[in-house]
């Protein structure tokens, strides 16, 4: 069985994690930018796999994950935006993925796929598109290690955060806490210094961030520091500065004010 999620105690605004998405990285420097994210304090490395069917674009395959596995020691989570994800699970398990996230909309056999992932010793997650109700995942929620709320429609990076999803995140947070379930609540899409705090206040504990981390305007460490400052402001994580984004966040006090529009 996979290890339980190492998240914060239910209901506590602490233990928030950042998962940089390499979809926004410079593909010519993919390995280097993955290493930069890990060195800056990323908790997970998020790999968006698209098949050109479930979503319009095609991105990475299992060989990319295998290459990244040799470069970083932090957990790699693979977000399978593919039809029939059960066909791909063994390939990404062998490649070294730590968490596999499948879409509830992509398979009629969700329970079976979750079981197959966990039987392989990996953490299992389920993602829901913006238009998919929480009821679609209720029957497997007690089994999950991770549940991902899409805050954009999947298939393309750089989209704007869908604010209506904040209520969905909040409802899911209550469900997880009331049932004392272990699944980490993750959000993916449009996460930035302007939206990260709102997502945390609503109940997110893992933030997938693409263009907020990988941007020509600043280094990965600086970008992680700015995003981390927004999280620290609302999550009560102030502590002795450490390496990576935590240290950058503490040093960059002006960055915290960038996320001050979190009220919800």
Report whether 100 contacts 89 (CB < 8 A). Answer: yes
Under DSSP, the state recorded for 216 is T
Return phi, psi of residue 186, to 5°.
-115, 150
Cα separation of 235 and 144, whole Å?
A: 24
Cα separation of 217 and 220, whole Å?
A: 10
Cα separation of 145 and 258, whole Å?
A: 32
Token couple for 226: 């700015």
Report whether 45 contacts 34 (CB < 8 A). Answer: yes
Report whether 48 contacts 57 (CB < 8 A). Answer: no
Of 51, 98, 145, 188, which residue is the catalytic one?
A: 188
Under DSSP, the state recorded for 2 is P
Beta carbons within 8 Å of 219's beta carbon, 6+ residues apart: 36
Respond yes or no: is residue 48 known to be catalytic: yes
Of 48, 51, 98, 145, which residue is the catalytic one?
A: 48
For the annotated catalytic residues, the residue numbers are 48, 188
């Amino acid at each position: 069985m996979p290890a339980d999620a190492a998240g914060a105690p239910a209901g506590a605004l602490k233990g928030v994690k950042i998962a940089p998405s390499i979809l926004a990285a410079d593909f010519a420097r993919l390995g280097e930018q993955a290493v930069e994210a890990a060195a800056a304090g990323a908790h997970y490395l998020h790999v968006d796999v698209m098949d050109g069917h479930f979503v319009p674009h095609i991105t990475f395959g299992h060989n990319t994950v295998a290459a990244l596995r040799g470069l970083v020691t932090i957990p790699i989570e693979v977000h399978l935006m593919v039809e029939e994800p059960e066909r791909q699970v063994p390939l990404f398990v062998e490649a070294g993925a730590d968490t596999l996230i499948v879409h509830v909309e992509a398979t009629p056999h969700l329970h079976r796929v979750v079981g197959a992932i966990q039987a392989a010793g990996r953490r299992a997650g389920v993602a829901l598109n913006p238009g998919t109700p929480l009821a679609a995942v209720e029957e497997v929620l007690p089994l999950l290690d991770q549940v991902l709320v899409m805050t954009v429609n999947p298939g393309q990076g750089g989209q704007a955060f869908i604010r209506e999803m904040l209520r969905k995140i909040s409802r899911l947070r209550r469900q997880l806490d009331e049932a004392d379930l272990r699944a980490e609540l993750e959000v993916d899409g449009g996460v930035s210094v302007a939206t990260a705090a709102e997502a945390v206040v609503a109940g997110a504990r893992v933030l997938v961030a693409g263009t907020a981390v990988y941007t020509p305007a600043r280094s990965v460490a600086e970008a992680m520091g700015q995003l981390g400052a927004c999280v620290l402001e609302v999550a009560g994580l102030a502590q002795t500065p450490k390496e990576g984004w935590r240290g950058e966040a503490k040093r960059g006090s002006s960055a915290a004010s960038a996320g001050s529009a979190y009220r919800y």
